[in-house]
Amino acid sequence: TQLLEQSPQFLSIQEGENLTVYCNSSSVFSSLQWYRQEPGEGPVLLVTVVTGGEVKKLKRLTFQFGDARKDSSLHITAAQPGDTGLYLCAGATGANNLFFGTGTRLTVIP
Amino acid sequence: KAGVTQTPRYLIKTRGQQVTLSCSPISGHRSVSWYQQTPGQGLQFLFEYFSETQRNKGNFPGRFSGRQFSNSRSEMNVSTLELGDSALYLCASSLALGQLDGYTFGSGTRLTVV
């Protein structure tokens, strides 16, 4: 079983602060995705990273895939209350299985 | 375009009963996957269907089953419900097998077993 550990598990910050969420595994993934899930809804795909060392930016969000394709990070600049939610990383293997991380619950306080 | 539609949104069942959940994928998406989400275990993969065939299966007992129809709509069935089956069941669709393009999830069916 591929295990994706996310840290921190919970994060509560003030509006305007920066933060980084980590997703780590001992397994190599062919690609890695980040999702955000709001209460009562399904996860929404934010980004897919495929190449080791790849960096993608989505407005205030920066995603990085580790060189060895075993880990990833999500950095949010100047967090806003609308960023509140459960952030999930998910790694894909060559067997077409997608393994989800343990999740980071982010609360941005106005 | 319409998103992934799951019905019903909420369901309360008694232990020992069975339940059927439905998922209509985005038009043109042929792969449908099912996940169980609980606070303790997070999102766990149940199974994936593509072209009416189960292509992948997670580590769940045989009480959990599914099927896919020719229009790509999918159903999952849980028989002999247990209290521990209470969870949010999520369906996700994608264009094809393999998730390089990412999933589109439905809003889920919240199942409560009493």
Question: Do B46 and B64 touch, CB atoms closer than 8 A?
Answer: yes
From the centroid of its chain, how far is CA A31? 13
Nearest to A45 among B35, B42, B103 (CB): B103
Q: Which residues of B55-76 are buried (b: 16+ CB within 10 A; e: fewer)?
A: ebeeebeeebbbebeeebbbbb
Instruction: Select the residue from A30, A45, A87, A89 to test the B interface by mutation, using most B Cβ atoms within 10 A.
Output: A45
Q: Which residues from chain A sit within 8 angstroms of residue B45, using beta carbons?
A: 97-100
3-state secondary structure of A82: helix
Question: How do residues B86-112 score in pLDDT, each as one tens digit?
Answer: 999 999 998 877 655 678 999 999 999
Question: Do B107 and B15 touch, CB atoms closer than 8 A?
Answer: no
User: pLDDT grade, residue B2 (50/70/90)?
Assistant: confident
**pLDDT of A1 higher than 60:** no
Do B99 and A50 make contact, defined as CB atoms within 8 angstroms? Answer: no
Question: How do residues A8-24 score in pLDDT, each as one tens digit?
Answer: 999 999 999 999 999 99
Question: How do residues B36-72 score in pLDDT, each as one tens digit?
Answer: 999 888 899 999 999 999 998 899 999 999 999 999 9
| Residue B107: predicted pLDDT | 96
Do B102 and A50 make contact, defined as CB atoms within 8 angstroms? Answer: no
| Residue A2: predicted pLDDT | 59
Q: What is the mean pLDDT of residues B67-79?
A: 97
Question: Do B104 and B3 touch, CB atoms closer than 8 A?
Answer: yes
The one-letter code for the residue type at B1 is K
**Average model confidence (pLDDT) for chain A?**
93
Q: Which residues from chain B sit within 8 angstroms of residue A90, using beta carbons?
A: 43, 99
